[in-house]
């Protein structure tokens, strides 16, 4: 431990300084009171372009991404690079959709995706299903942020559970006090640190390793020598379909996560959302370069830390920093990863808490809850969510969280027909959507259960690459399980809608109007809600 003392000191100082910012964030553009969901959970709904850029960026590109994506390239090669096309296609894909969501949410004072579904399809049942799906998908995601911090602590030789518990206790305390303002303010520091570390890394490390050409050659040599059939620095005929469907499926899923929606709804106007859709790809560049840290680790001869006979691939990036950088700068890099975990963990827990408050507490427990009661319940729910995440990581094998997160991506995709398509069309019948959701969930989980991964000696939940051979097709090709599950969902939703219409089953009432979907800042109806919502 003693040879990491400089790293530990730098890490601790930066971590504590940033936590202090989290506490004072409550005073930033301080409203009369924080006692409403609009204020605590959406930062007053008036973030401009810059804040939104940092907030959504800090939200989507998490510490886990920074650690896990390079680990994927380290282990499997080109397949792990799917993260780049994923974030490239995402923004044009959701550009027009998110501004409709922004408008309708502001006219009707909606805070969560389930709020929208409730109003659009007039079905509390469907809204509850959407809310539960969101909660189930978000919880393991929060737990995974801890895996990022854990990988850094492990590399510094810090062992035991206490440091992790302290880090999360600090996070819980300032989120409780400052709400969405805390991660919004911290996101500035997080991004500044991460950009600094990555720019230094992509100039300094290749220079020490003999240039980019030799880094890629070292990776190629490793994959050529390995017996695994699917790896390599380019794709092979069997994993191209997986690469494309995983990129597209992940892009479709990302803005269905409640925490991404929270970031978007906190924007001041449609213009802010649109401007961000064209500015956020700057992070994709960052992500693409971060991914290549995995190959640098190969070229630098990094061997992941093994515990209980299992190699922890998530430690390759921290180990690379440890080996390549001077101690003090490695400390800065670790702080960037650690702080990078705090921002999304805070936003995710706020989003999960909002879901619980709006779609379970207010809908089923206390219908006449006041704004102040809603905010109070949300604050406590955010604490419960975080304690749950810590317990999951400490008591259960972290692998369990990784499996759950894998399932999370597949199940959140099953809300696409109700939320994503619902923003464009009211054609679907609520019964059809419920049936489609159930079918998609069942198909998705069943497929993931049947994915084995010999490399990690997993018989089930070994990854998201579902072999088409299991469907009786004579091929070695694999496809993203979530994509296939979504197809099942859509087919059942369409069939269910036609059946319900033919059987004249009562449909819900649509509380939204076409003009709601294009309303913007300054429109009387948008203003009305803000006034009644926060004062």
Under the rule (CB under 8 A), what is the footprint of other proteins? 78, 81, 84-85, 88-89, 91-93, 95-96, 99-100, 211-216, 220, 233-235, 240, 243-244, 247-248, 271, 274-275, 277-278, 281, 284-285, 288, 292, 513, 515, 518-520, 523-525
Residue 31 or 281 having the CB closest to other proteins:
281
CA 418, 421, 424, 427 torsion-angle sign: negative
* DSSP structure class, residue 260: H
Please give the structure tokens belonging to residue 526: 């948008």
The distance of closest approach from Cβ of residue 232 to other proteins in the complex, given in angstroms and rounded to an integer, is: 9
Token pair recorded at residue 394 = 């400490």
Question: Closest CB to other proteins among 34 and 247?
Answer: 247
What is the C-alpha separation between 137 and 140, in angstroms, rounded?
7
Q: How many CA atoms lie within 13 A of 354 on its CB side?
A: 33
CB of 233 to other proteins, least distance (A): 6
Side-chain half-sphere of 1: how many Cα atoms within 13 Å?
8
CB closer to other proteins out of 219 and 435: 219
Half-sphere exposure of 254 (CA within 13 A, CB side): 24
CB atoms within 10 A of CB 271: 14
Q: Give the dihedral sign, CA 334/149/14/349.
A: positive
Q: Minimum Å distance from CB 340 to other proteins?
A: 21
Residue 144 · residue 402 · CB < 8 Å: yes
Smallest separation, CB 296 to other proteins (Å)? 12
State the nearest-atom distance from the C-beta of 237 to other proteins, in Å.
Answer: 9
Which of 74, 243 has the CB closer to other proteins? 243
DSSP 268: S
Rounded to a whole number of angstroms, the minimum distance from the CB of residue 484 to other proteins is 16
User: With respect to other proteins, which residue has the nearer C-beta, 510 or 520?
Assistant: 520
What are the structure tokens assigned to 435, written together? Answer: 């049936």
As a whole number of angstroms, the distance between CA 175 and CA 41 comes to 10
In sequence order, what DSSP letters do the residues of 443-487 get, joined into one string?
HHHHHHHT--BGGGTBSSS--SEEEGGGGT-S---EEEHHHHHHH
Nearer to other proteins, 71 or 390 (CB): 71
By beta-carbon proximity to other proteins, the closer residue of 233 and 376 is 233
Helix/strand/coil for 415:
helix
Q: How far is the CB of 189 from other proteins (least distance, A)?
A: 25
Token pair, residue 494, equals 């369409």
Question: Residue ranges of the alpha helices (H) in 25-79?
Answer: 37-40, 49-60, 63-76
Per-position b or e across 129-140, b if 16+ CB within 10 A of its CB: bbbbbbbbbbbb
Element (H, E) at 306: strand 306-307
H or E stretch at 310: strand 310-311
Nearer to other proteins, 62 or 245 (CB): 245
* Closer of 211 and 326 to other proteins (Cβ): 211
Q: Which of 470, 438, 401 is nearest to 136 (CA)?
A: 401
Q: Is the CB of 25 or the CB of 256 nearer to other proteins? A: 256
Q: How far is the CB of 203 from other proteins (least distance, A)?
A: 13
* Residue closer to other proteins (CB basis): 40 or 91: 91
Q: Which residues share a beta bridge with 267? A: 47
- Could you tell me the smallest distance in angstroms from the CB atom of residue 279 to other proteins? 8
Nearer CB in complex with other proteins: 218/350 = 218
C-alpha gyration radius of the chain:
23
CB of 26 to other proteins, least distance (A): 33
Reading the block at residue 332, the tokens are 């800065």
Nearer residue to other proteins within complex by CB, 211 or 229 = 211
3-state class (DSSP) for residue 31:
coil
CB of 524 to other proteins, least distance (A): 4
Half-sphere exposure of 127 (CA within 13 A, CB side): 26
Min dist. Cβ of residue 239 to other proteins (A)? 9
8 Å CB contact between 172 and 383: yes
Closest distance between other proteins and the C-beta of residue 531, in Å? 12
């Amino acid at each position: 431990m003693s040879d990491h003392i400089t790293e530990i000191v730098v890490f601790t100082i930066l971590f504590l300084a940033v936590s202090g910012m989290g506490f004072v964030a409550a005073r930033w553009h301080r409203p009369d009171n924080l006692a409403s969901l609009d204020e605590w959970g959406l930062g007053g709904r008036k973030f401009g372009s810059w804040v939104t850029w940092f907030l959504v960026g800090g939200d989507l590109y998490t510490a886990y991404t920074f650690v896990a994506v390079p680990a994927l390239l380290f282990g499997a090669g080109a397949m792990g690079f799917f993260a780049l096309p994923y974030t490239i296609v995402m923004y044009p894909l959701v550009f027009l959709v998110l501004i409709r969501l922004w408008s309708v949410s502001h006219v009707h004072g909606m805070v969560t995706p389930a709020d929208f579904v409730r109003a659009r399809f007039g079905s509390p049942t469907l809204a509850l299903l959407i809310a539960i799906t969101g909660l189930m998908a978000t919880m393991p995601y929060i737990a995974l942020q801890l895996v990022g911090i854990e990988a850094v602590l492990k590399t510094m030789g810090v062992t035991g559970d206490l440091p992790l518990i302290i880090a999360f206790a600090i996070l819980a305390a300032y989120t409780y006090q400052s709400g969405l303002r805390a991660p919004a303010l911290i996101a500035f520091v997080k991004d500044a640190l991460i950009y600094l570390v990555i720019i230094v890394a992509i100039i300094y490390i290749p220079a020490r390793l003999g240039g980019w050409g030799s880094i890629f050659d070292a990776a190629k040599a490793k994959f050529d020598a390995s017996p695994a059939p699917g790896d390599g620095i380019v794709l092979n005929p069997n994993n191209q379909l997986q690469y494309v469907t995983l990129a597209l499926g992940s892009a479709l899923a990302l803005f269905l996560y409640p925490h991404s929606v929270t970031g978007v709804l906190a924007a001041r106007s449609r213009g802010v959302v649109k401007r961000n859709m064209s500015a956020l790809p700057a992070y994709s560049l960052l992500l693409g370069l971060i991914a290549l840290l995995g190959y640098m680790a190969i070229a630098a001869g990094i061997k992941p830390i093994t515990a209980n006979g299992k190699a922890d691939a998530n430690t390759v990036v921290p180990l690379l920093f440890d080996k390549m950088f001077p101690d003090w700068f490695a400390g800065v890099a670790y702080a960037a990863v650690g702080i990078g975990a705090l921002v999304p963990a805070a936003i995710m827990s706020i989003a999960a808490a909002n879901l619980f408050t709006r779609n379970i507490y207010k809908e089923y427990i206390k219908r006449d809850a006041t704004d102040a009661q809603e905010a109070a319940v949300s604050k406590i729910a955010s604490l419960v969510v975080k304690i749950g995440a810590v317990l999951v990581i400490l008591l259960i094998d972290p692998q369990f969280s990784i499996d759950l997160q894998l399932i999370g991506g597949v199940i959140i995709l099953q809300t696409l027909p109700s939320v994503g398509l619902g923003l464009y069309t009211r054609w679907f019948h609520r019964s059809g959507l419920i049936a489609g959701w159930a079918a998609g969930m069942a198909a998705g989980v069943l497929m993931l259960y049947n994915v084995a991964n010999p490399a990690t000696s997993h018989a089930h939940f070994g990854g998201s690459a579902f072999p088409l051979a299991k469907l009786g097709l004579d091929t070695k090709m694999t496809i993203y399980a979530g994509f296939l599950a979504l197809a099942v969902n859509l087919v059942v939703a369409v069939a269910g809608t036609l059946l319900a219409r033919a059987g004249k089953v009562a449909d819900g009432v649509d509380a939204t109007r076409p003009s709601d979907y294009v309303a913007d800042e300054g429109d009387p109806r948008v203003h009305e809600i803000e006034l009644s919502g926060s004062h």
